[in-house]
């Protein structure tokens, strides 16, 4: 992507939460990311201190797509679903066979939150528990609990 093209693309992006995707010439998704500000996050890829792997990805990218979301949580879920669907080359850290994570709360008087994988949900019958998710990783589910 040329520097001039980058500046035009970045100026058109909203200062809103959402998901962005870098695509190659054939339309193959190279990377899926999420942001609280799409404009700021995408601009960060074109700074001088960008890592070598990000530069490599940017050099292969010919297009950028974005999807604006209403909330940051919506962008987290959308990003995770798009990564699991397309398995982008540069989303290496998310390329595993783990299932999504969920937050499980007992419907009792003093519920203690539990972070569980999708495959573990059968242990928690819906009549006795409230289940929230999916989240792309246990870390993200933990971050949501902190909020």
Residues 87 and 133 placed together within one structural domain of the fold: no
Is residue 112's pLDDT more than 80?
A: yes
Query: What is the overall mean pLDDT for the chain?
Result: 85
Output helix, strand, coil percentages for the chain, rounded to the nearest 5: 40, 25, 35
Task: Using DSSP, state whether 104 is helix, strand or coil.
Answer: strand
Residues 17 and 88 placed together within one structural domain of the fold: yes
Torsion over CA: 56, 81, 86, 96 (sign): positive
Residues 16 and 63 placed together within one structural domain of the fold: yes
63 contacts 23 by C-beta, under 8 angstroms = yes
Model pTM score: 0.64
Residues 68 and 111 placed together within one structural domain of the fold: no
Residues 61 and 124 placed together within one structural domain of the fold: no
Residues 105 and 79 placed together within one structural domain of the fold: no
pLDDT tens-digit series, residues 38-76:
999 999 998 888 888 888 999 999 999 999 999 998 998
Residues 19 and 86 placed together within one structural domain of the fold: yes
pLDDT score, position 2: 45
pLDDT score, position 80: 86
Domain residue limits at 83: 3-93
pLDDT score, position 32: 95
Residues 38 and 76 placed together within one structural domain of the fold: yes
pLDDT tens-digit series, residues 72-96:
989 988 998 898 888 898 886 545 5
Q: Which residue has the higher pLDDT, 127 or 92?
A: 127
């Amino acid at each position: 992507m040329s520097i001039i093209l980058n500046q035009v693309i970045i100026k058109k992006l909203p200062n809103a939460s959402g998901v962005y995707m870098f695509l190659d010439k054939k339309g193959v998704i190279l990377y899926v990311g999420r942001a609280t500000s799409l404009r700021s996050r995408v601009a960060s890829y074109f700074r001088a201190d960008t890592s070598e792997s990000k530069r490599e990805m940017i050099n292969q990218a010919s297009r950028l797509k974005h999807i604006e979301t209403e909330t940051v949580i919506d962008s987290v879920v959308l990003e995770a679903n798009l990564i699991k669907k397309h398995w982008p080359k540069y989303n290496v850290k998310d390329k595993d066979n783990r299932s999504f994570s969920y937050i499980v709360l007992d419907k009792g008087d003093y519920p203690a939150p539990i972070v569980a994988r999708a495959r573990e949900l059968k242990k928690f019958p819906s009549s006795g528990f409230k289940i929230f998710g999916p989240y792309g990783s246990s870390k993200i589910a933990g971050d949501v609990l902190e909020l």
